[in-house]
Amino acid sequence: MIKLDIIQHVVERTGVTKAKAEMAVEAVFESMKQAMSKGERIELRGFGVFNVRPRKTGVGRNPKTGAQVKIVPGKAVRFKPGKDMLNQ
């Protein structure tokens, strides 16, 4: 599923115009991006939880060449599905 599919689903479920549905979906995604950039946790009951966690420094390997690659520290988004997601 891509963003356009989500927008189309909103149009079908609510009857709003495609332009308004696109604005609503974009607003939700933008709010989520802003919250995660601040390191905030996003909990959507019945769907799951998004967390931003630090990523460790380390050494990895390029699977194609086998050469060692340094992994720089950073942040990664983790998603834990809610119970309702797993029971369907």
The 10s digit of each residue's pLDDT in 24-79 is: 999 999 999 999 999 999 999 989 999 999 988 889 999 999 999 998 899 999 99
Do 49 and 35 contact (CB within 8 A), yes or no?
Answer: no
**Pairing of β 68-71 and β 58-61:** antiparallel
CA angle 73–75–76, rounded 5-degree value = 125
pTM attached to this predicted model = 0.75
Handedness of CA 26, 30, 78, 70 (dihedral sign): positive
